């Protein structure tokens, strides 16, 4: 299969491809990051970066440290060794108080949604705005707008307990995206969902990538989700995710693969499908 990076005119690609991405300062950069809990290291000498406009899909089987890596990216965990730069600032030893303002620039979607179960969807999605004391009318308007982005306007006054698993993830995406973050972190957003709901979630992620051009780091163990992201684009006119023409892929969606705490692959979909690494081959086949 010949893989071409050209997109259709209405595909709204992110502004930078991987080649260009390496010449601008990255949004997130890991350099030789190692982390252990009680035992052998969970992550060993991890180095990679996410450039503006780039979506990096972190692949790997369950339990190899993908979620841990994601939590390192916004300082929820601290590395034992190495350096992590977020928006150009070194965060590996940054005090928690200084991290809070940086985190407001990031949207994070947790594995199970992590919605506040004592708050309504409105208060969950508008949580940051409420903390910033934005007027109620403006919060309502912005929450309704982002809920319509994820197709859940009618859940405005619901509590998380009355939502399905897929709806919770969509609300979590709305909460993460409401302030138009400069980076999105997705932790297994389709884990445990049925194929139809998974496709809905991936469509939202592609929509966020192509409409708002938000750089992202996405963790998944589902190869089909990763390939869907690479081979589809969001058409704003048709308001739907559509496949790219045969042989074309999104140039700003690239892949990382972890195995036993080590980064064993970093490259494009073309590199991935042609990799000779036995673990990569086993994983994709």
Partner 1 sequence: MAIISIDRTAKQLVLTVQEYSLFAWRAFQNLYRPPIYWTDFLIQSDVIGFGSISIVLLSGFFTGGVLALQSAATLSAFGATAVTGRFVAITMIRELGPVLTGVMVSGRNASSMASELGSMVVTEQIDAMRALGVDPIRKLVTPRIFACITMLFFLTIVADAFGIMGGAFVTVFMNHQDGLQYFSMAWESLRYPDILQGLVKPLFSGYIIASIGCFYGLRTSGGTQGVGRATIQAVVWSSVFIIVADFFLTQILLAIFPT
- Contacts to partner 1 by CB under 8 A: 71, 74, 76, 96-97, 100-104, 106, 108, 110-112, 114-117, 127-128, 131, 175, 185
d(CA 153, CA 122) in angstroms, rounded, equals 10
Other beta carbons within 10 Å of 148: 11
Nearer to partner 1, 38 or 237 (CB): 38
Least separation, in Å, of the C-beta of 166 and partner 1? Answer: 17
Least separation, in Å, of the C-beta of 102 and partner 1? Answer: 8
Least separation, in Å, of the C-beta of 167 and partner 1? Answer: 16
d(CA 152, CA 165) in angstroms, rounded, equals 13
Other beta carbons within 10 Å of 132: 11
User: Token pair of 227, please?
Assistant: 């390939």
Nearer to partner 1, 112 or 138 (CB): 112
Q: β-strands 240-243, 232-235: how paired?
A: antiparallel
Angle between helices 165-177 and 136-149 (to 10 degrees): 120
How far from chain centre, in Å, is Cα 243? 20
Q: Is 242 buried (19+), middle (13-18) or exposed (0-12) by CB count in 10 A?
A: middle
Nearer to partner 1, 115 or 205 (CB): 115
Least separation, in Å, of the C-beta of 107 and partner 1? Answer: 8
Least separation, in Å, of the C-beta of 154 and partner 1? Answer: 23
Nearer to partner 1, 68 or 244 (CB): 68
Nearer to partner 1, 12 or 111 (CB): 111
Least separation, in Å, of the C-beta of 106 and partner 1? Answer: 7
d(CA 263, CA 118) in angstroms, rounded, equals 39
d(CA 120, CA 172) in angstroms, rounded, equals 12
Contact 184, 106 (CB under 8 A): yes
């Amino acid at each position: 299969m010949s893989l071409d990076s050209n997109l259709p005119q209405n595909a709204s690609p992110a502004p930078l491809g991987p080649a260009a991405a390496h010449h601008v300062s990255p949004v997130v950069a890991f350099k030789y990051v190692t982390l252990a809990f009680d035992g052998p290291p969970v992550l060993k000498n991890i180095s990679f970066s996410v450039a503006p406009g780039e979506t990096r899909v972190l692949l790997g089987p369950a339990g190899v440290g993908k979620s841990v890596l994601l939590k390192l990216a916004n300082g929820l965990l601290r590395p034992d060794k190495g350096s992590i730069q977020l928006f150009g600032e070194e965060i590996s030893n940054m005090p928690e108080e200084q991290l809070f303002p940086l985190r407001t620039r990031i949207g994070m979607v947790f594995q199970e949604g992590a919605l506040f179960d004592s708050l309504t969807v409105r208060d969950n999605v508008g949580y940051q705005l409420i903390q910033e004391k934005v007027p109620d009318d403006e919060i309502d308007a912005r929450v309704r707008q982002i809920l319509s982005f994820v197709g859940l306007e009618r859940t405005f006054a619901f509590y998380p307990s009355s939502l399905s698993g897929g709806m919770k993830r969509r609300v979590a995406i709305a909460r993460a995206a409401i302030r138009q973050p400069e980076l999105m972190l997705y932790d297994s957003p389709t884990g445990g969902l049925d194929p139809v709901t998974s496709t809905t979630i991936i469509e939202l992620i592609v929509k966020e990538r192509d409409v708002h051009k938000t750089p992202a780091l996405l963790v998944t163990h589902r190869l089909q989700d990763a390939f869907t992201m690479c081979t589809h684009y969001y058409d704003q006119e048709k308001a739907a995710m559509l496949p790219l023409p045969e042989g074309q892929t999104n140039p700003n969606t690239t892949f990382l693969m972890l195995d036993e705490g080590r980064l064993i692959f970093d490259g494009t979909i073309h590199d991935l499908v042609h990799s000779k690494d036995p673990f990569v081959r086993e994983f994709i086949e």
